[in-house]
Amino acid sequence: MNLKILFSGASSACFELQNELPYYAPEKFKVFLNDQEQYTCDSNVFSLFGLEPDTAYRLRIEGVSLRAALDFRTESESCAIDVRAFGAVGDGEHDDTAAIQTAIGYLPANGRLFFPAGVYLTKPLVLKSRITLEFREGATLLGWTKREDYPIVPAFVTDEKGREIHFGGFEGNAVPMYQSLLTAQYAEDIRIIGPGTVDGNAGSTDFWTAFHSFPAARPRLLFFNRCKNVRVHGLHACNAASWQFHPYYSENLGFYDVAITAPKNSPNTDALDPESCDGVDIIGCRFTVGDDCIAIKSGKIELGEKFNRPANRHTIRNCLMEFGHGAVTLGSEIGAGVRNLCVQQCWFRGTDRGLRIKSRRGRGKNCRIDGVSFEKIRMEGVLTPIVINLWYNCCDPDRESEYVWSREHLPVDDRTPRMGSFRFEKISCTGAQVAACYIDGLPEAPIEEVTFKDVSVSFAPDAKPGVPAMQNFAEPRCRLGLYLDNVRRILIEDVRLENVDGKKLLADHYEELAKIHFCED
C-alpha cells in the first residue's frame, strides 16, 4: 500500500494511506519515524509533530498485513519564537492579547511563533503573511468573553480614490461583522498547526443566546479574506460564536487532520464553510458540530453578481462527520455557483442529512452547480442520506413568499438558479429513517442529470417520520425510496433499497429514465 504526503512544514507533516476505504485504515498500524515507534493509528490520514526544520526523515508504518514507507524532508524556516518571550502568560486569566499581537507583528517572514502548554486568553488577533502559528500539545488559545471588546468590522470601506475595499460578510451578504478570533486579510503563505487547540469560548458569552439583537454578524473562529496559500494542520478548533472556519474569496487552501467540535445545540456552528474559494483541500478531518459540518458557499445574489466568484475545485476526502444538520452541504448561499466538487472516502454518522444541496429561486442566474461527484461514502444513522432541495425556506425575509414556494412553472429570469450534473457512486447507508434520497428541482429549470451507481440504503426497523428537506408545506416522510421531481435525466444502476415503505422509485416531471436497475432484496 502506498503512502502520500499531504503537507510538510518546518515542524509537522501529514500523510495519507492510498486506498478506497472511507476514513478508517484497513487495520490498525504502528507509525515509526527513523525506526522509532511513535504511536498506533487506525485512520487513513495521520500526522507527526515536533519535527526539526530542514531535516530528512523516514516514515514507516507497520500492521499485521500493512507495510509502507516514505522519505520526506521538512521545510526550512527563519526562526522559531516562544510567545512567552513577548510577555504572554498562558494562565487562562491574564489578558495575553497585546503580547500575542506584538509577537505576530515582530515575527520575521517565514518564522514560527509557538505556544507551549498553557491557556492563552485573548481578544481578536490579526495575522500577516508568511508566518506559522504552532499550538503545541496542551496549548489552548481561548477566546475573550466580553462581546464589547470584539471590534465591529465594516463589510466595505471606500478608499481615497473611491475604490471599494471588501473586508467580509456573513451568510452570503456583505454586512458588518464582529472581528473573528483569528483573522487574515489580503495575506498569503499562512500556516496554523497543532496539535493544540483554538477555543472560541462562545458558551461563556452571549454569542449563542442573544445574537438576534446584535448590531453586527457574529465572529467566526478563523476568518481568511482574499488570502492565498493557507494551510491548517492538526489543530483542534471548537466553540466558535458562529462558523468555526470561514475562508472567504481565497485560493489554494488546505485543511489536514483537523478536528472541529461544538455542542449539538449550538446555533450556526458550522465546522468549515469555504465561500467563493478556488482550490480547497479538506482531507482527514473530523467534525461534530451544531449545524452543517461542511457548507460550500458563494454568496447570495448580490455578491454573486458583484464578484461572480464560484466555489471551484474543492476536494473533500477521508473525513469523519458526526451529528451535524448536513455532513457535506452546498448552499444555500451559492449565488455564484459551485464547480468541480469531489467528495470521496468519507464516513458520516448521525447527521440529519448526508449529502445536502440547498438553493431556491432568488439565488440568481450565476447560481449554477455542476460537476459534482460523491464517491465511496459510508453513512450510519443518517436520517436522509441524499438531498437536493431547490425550495429551501430558511434565512431570508422572503423565505415564505409565494415566489419561493409556488409550484407553478414560473418565467426563467436573472433570479433563477440552475443545477447541472450530480453523480452518486459506491455509497452505503445503514439506519436511514426518512428517505433514501429526496431530490426536488424547479419546474422552470429542472436539474440536468442525476446518476446513482452502486448505492445501497437500508432503513432502521424503528424509523420515525421526519421532514427530508427544509421547504414550505413539507410533509413528514418515513422509509421513502428514491424521490425525484423535476430532473431531466435519471440514471439508476445497481441500487439496493431495504425496508422501503412503498415504491422504490418515485419520479415525476422528468424527460428520460436512461437506465433503471435495482438489485434484488
Calpha distance 442→419 (Å, rounded): 9
378 neighbors 428 (Cβ within 8 angstroms): yes
At 175, phi and psi to the nearest 5? -135, 155
Is the Cβ–Cβ distance between 127 and 99 less than 8 Å? no
Length in residues, the chain: 521
Is residue 282 within 8 Å of residue 255, measured between CB atoms? yes
Of the candidates 85, 140, 144, which has an alpha carbon nearest to the alpha carbon of residue 112? 85
Are the CB atoms for 373 and 343 separated by under 8 Å? Answer: yes
Bridge partner list, 112: 80, 132
Dihedral angle computed from the Cα positions of residues 359, 361, 363 and 366, in that order, rounded to the nearest 10 degrees: 100
Q: Which three cell numbers, joined as nine digits, stand for 28?
A: 490498525
The set of cell numbers assigned to 167 is 473586508
Cis preceding linkage at 195, omega within 30:
yes
Asked if residues 472 and 400 have their Cβ atoms less than 8 Å apart, the reply is yes
Greatest alpha-carbon pair distance for the chain in Å reads 70
Report yes or no: 355 and 327 within 8 Å, Cβ to Cβ: yes
Return the DSSP state at 363. S
Residues acting as catalytic residues: 291, 325
Which 8-state DSSP code applies to residue 298?
A: -
Calpha distance 325→464 (Å, rounded): 17
User: The C-alpha cell of 395 is what?
Assistant: 434565512
Beta strands in 345-409 (DSSP E): 347-349, 353-358, 368-380, 384-389
Nearest one of 372, 224, 225, 218 to 291, comparing CA atoms: 218
On whether the CB atoms of residues 244 and 18 are closer than 8 A, the answer is no
Torsion angle, CA of 305/252/216/99, rounded to 10 degrees?
A: -150
> 29: number of CA atoms within 13 Å, CB side?
23
Alpha helices in 125-226 (DSSP H): none
Q: What are phi and psi of 204, to 5 degrees?
A: -100, 10
Residue type, 108: P
